[in-house]
């Protein structure tokens, strides 16, 4: 049973617009959430994280929002750039090994 779900396999966005990637989780013991970005032939690269004591964390063009009651988090990228085209993985932990979603492939069209 998937504890971390990314229900959109792919997303296409115009350059300069906002990209919103979504992630849902089922385990209420998760207290730390991360987003990783993965380019072909490379390992995942850490992007941004959020602790369950917060509902928002921002780093430059990237913002992660956490809604604990809905067990939902989202990653906002604004403005989107062609170099953001990659697979984005949501991951979660509750003093446990990281549990990853299946990923969302983002394509930013120039």
Residues forming the site for another protein (CB under 8 A): 4, 6, 32, 34, 36, 41-46, 49, 89, 91, 93, 95-103
CB of residue 49 vs another protein: minimum separation in angstroms? Answer: 7
Q: For another protein, give the closer residue by CB, 76 or 105.
A: 105
Closest by alpha carbon to 69, among 87, 49, 48, 55? 55
Closest approach of another protein to the CB of residue 27, in Å: 14
Nearest Cα to 105, choosing from 13, 4, 2? 13
Residue closer to another protein (CB basis): 20 or 99: 99
DSSP state of 4: E
Compute CA distances 1 → 24, 66, 91, whole Å. Answer: 13, 22, 15
Residue 3 CB, nearest approach to another protein (Å) = 11
DSSP 20: E
Copy the structure tokens of residue 65.
């929002």
Between 32 and 78, whose beta carbon lies closer to another protein?
Answer: 32
């Amino acid at each position: 049973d998937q504890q971390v779900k990314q229900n959109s396999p792919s997303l296409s966005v115009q350059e300069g617009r906002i990209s919103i990637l979504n992630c849902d989780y089922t385990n209420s013991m998760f207290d730390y959430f991360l987003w990783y970005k993965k380019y072909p032939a490379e390992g995942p690269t850490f992007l941004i994280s959020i602790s369950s004591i917060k509902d928002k964390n921002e780093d430059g063009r990237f913002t992660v929002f956490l809604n604990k009651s809905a067990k939902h988090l989202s990653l906002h990228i604004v403005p989107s750039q062609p170099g953001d085209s990659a697979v984005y993985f949501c991951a979660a932990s509750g003093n446990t090994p990281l549990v990853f979603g299946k990923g969302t492939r983002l394509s930013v069209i120039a």
